[in-house]
Structure 1
Amino acid sequence: MLEEKLPIISVIITLYNRTQFVREAIESVIKQTLNKDLYEIILVSNIPLDTSAYGENLKFSLIPDEQIGKKYLRGLELSQGKIITFLDDDDLFYETRLEKIVNFYKKNSGTIYYHNSFSFISADGKDVKTTFKKHSQKFSQGNRPMVIRNDGKLKKLVKAKKISADFNMSSIAVSRELIIQNSNLLFSSNKTPDIYLFLEAIHQRATIYLDPEKLTKYRLRTETQPKLFTETIKPGHVQLDVRDEIVSIASKSGDKLFLKYSYFERYDYLAFSELKKFKNSRNRNRKKVIDNMKKLPLTKVYLIPYFFKYIFFYIILFIYPEWVKHINI
């Protein structure tokens, strides 16, 4: 149970090279239904910003480093809350989000990874309907919360991943003890901190709670992240680097479940990427189907069930290559 010590929750907002959305993001936190004495707002930016209008409601930290991980670390250093949550500078909170999170943590003890569902908005803030498969808006059938207590079973974690439990920092809240232990590793680079946080929850055997209520607005823009690629790096390689790094970390940890999940994460990314490349290619023929399948290493027996899923797709594509146009990826 949480002690009544202020602030209970810290909101870390990270600003990267743009200001067109951040004031709206800050306002969405200030307008929360939760008592303002119970939360703090920390804005970390690599560019100057006048925050005087927000008074003591907001702590501002300017750091010259453009690396997103350094911003999270700085925000964590300044934070006092027993619960840590995040907001990207272009996303928004629903007004009840912090109150819902605090009430949940008061009723549940132990180390917890919390992730709420989210809606989509366009660059101008209008609601957007999307069938973006990888980032489903539903966490469970019947609109019930999903609670995963880490009991060593890979299947549960895979299910959580499939419904986007490792996506969107603005929808994640964690117990302070979960994030403090390996914070330097979690935020050591520009690479996908939401995935690393989910993995840390697995590593620490935290309870994973997936709330189907939409409490965050995720903004869809043309450029979804800072430019990470040079002319010599093709899109997708950075994400594959993340998976390779995850396997390396898991191998050193000695944690069997963590290692199993890391191999699944890498395999699933490769399989999905090859399927997507095939869909986007101009030459969709049977030879290309076989070539793509050869790129999918199957070295672990516990990956076989997931291999069967993808081989089903590839068998159909071998018979009818143009069918890929109907797959929502």
Structure 2
Amino acid sequence: MKSAVIITVYKRYKYIDEALNSVLSQSVKPDQIIIVADNPKMLNNSINATVIEADYPQFGKMIFEAIKALRDDIDVVYFLDDDDMFHKNKIEYINKIFEKRRDVVTIHNSSKLIDENGNQLNLTWGVPFEVLVNRNNFRKIHHQYPFGLVNNSSYSIRKEFLVEIKKKP
């Protein structure tokens, strides 16, 4: 499977190098990296990524800009916020689920929240496990999590489904 990571940055550049390093050090490297930033001049020039300038805070608008830059051969898209990091085996692990389960269109994987010192926070609003979403269970999951699955960096989605969503008004 070919994968892309879309990193969104809006006025927070303090952790972007750590976020990017977590992508570059994956056990399975992504085939494309897209960074959508309000101020691309704040990024390291040596980054081998597609950089898109988008000076607005809305995550959805930033993602729509990034979709235009996705390569045709990409199968799965991962999202990463500027102040988050991926676990070192995330892409490898999630790709295996997508390969095995053709019915799954998006996955919200579990996450650990940490403070600025790297200490794990014990917050109860997070999702403690993977949530596999397909067309048949979408309504049930939406009812179970009425406020949504809240961490953008925990989402991965089949590109074909992402493009389908973008087409809807």
RMSD over aligned Cα atoms: 2.7
1:238-289 per-residue CA deviation (whole Å, 9 max, x = no partner) reads: xxxxxxxxxxxxxxxxxxxxxxxxxxxxxxxxxxxxxxxxxxxxxxxxxxxx
1:171-222 per-residue CA deviation (whole Å, 9 max, x = no partner) reads: 0101112111232669xxxxxxxxxxxxxxxxxxxxxxxxxxxxxxxxxxxx
Other structure's SS at 1:60 match = strand
Determine the C-alpha separation between the residues in 1 that align with 2:59 and 2:87: 24
**TM-score, length basis structure 1:** 0.45
Match of 2:79 in 1: 86
Q: Which consecutive residues of structure 1, in runs of 5 or more, have no partner in the other structure?
A: 3-7, 140-144, 187-329
Match of 2:157 in 1: 174
> Which protein is richer in helix relative to its size?
1
Determine the C-alpha separation between the residues in 1 that align with 2:11 and 2:138: 41
Residue 65 (structure 2) pairs with residue 74 (structure 1) = yes
Match of 1:114 in 2: 107
Q: Which consecutive residues of structure 2, in runs of 5 or more, have no partner in the other structure?
A: none
The residue type equivalent to 1:44 in the other structure is: V
Match of 1:104 in 2: 97
Other structure's SS at 1:167 match = coil
Determine the C-alpha separation between the residues in 2 that align with 1:147 and 1:89: 24
Q: Which runs of 4+ in 1 moved over 4 A?
A: 145-157
Determine the C-alpha separation between the residues in 2 that align with 1:153 and 1:10: 24
1:130-163 per-residue CA deviation (whole Å, 9 max, x = no partner) reads: 1x332242x3xxxxx665655479555533x27x
Q: By how many angstroms is 1:63 displaced?
A: 2.7
Match of 2:143 in 1: 158
Residue 121 (structure 2) pairs with residue 129 (structure 1) = yes
Residue 17 (structure 2) pairs with residue 23 (structure 1) = yes
**TM-score, length basis structure 2:** 0.83
Cα distance change, pair 99–154 in 1 and its aligned pair in 2 (3 A): closer
Other structure's SS at 2:14 match = coil
Other structure's SS at 2:35 match = strand
Larger radius of gyration: 1
Other structure's SS at 1:121 match = coil
The residue type equivalent to 2:70 in the other structure is: S
The residue type equivalent to 1:101 in the other structure is: I
- Aligned 8 A contact 1:73 1:184 in 2: no
Q: By how many angstroms is 1:29 displaced?
A: 0.3
Determine the C-alpha separation between the residues in 1 that align with 2:87 and 2:24: 11
Residue 57 (structure 2) pairs with residue 63 (structure 1) = no
Q: By how many angstroms is 1:106 displaced?
A: 1.7
Other structure's SS at 2:77 match = strand
Task: Report how many residues are paired.
Answer: 166
Cα distance change, pair 51–135 in 1 and its aligned pair in 2 (3 A): same
The residue type equivalent to 1:60 in the other structure is: V
Determine the C-alpha separation between the residues in 1 that align with 2:138 and 2:56: 40
Cα distance change, pair 109–46 in 1 and its aligned pair in 2 (3 A): same
Q: By how many angstroms is 1:107 displaced?
A: 1.8
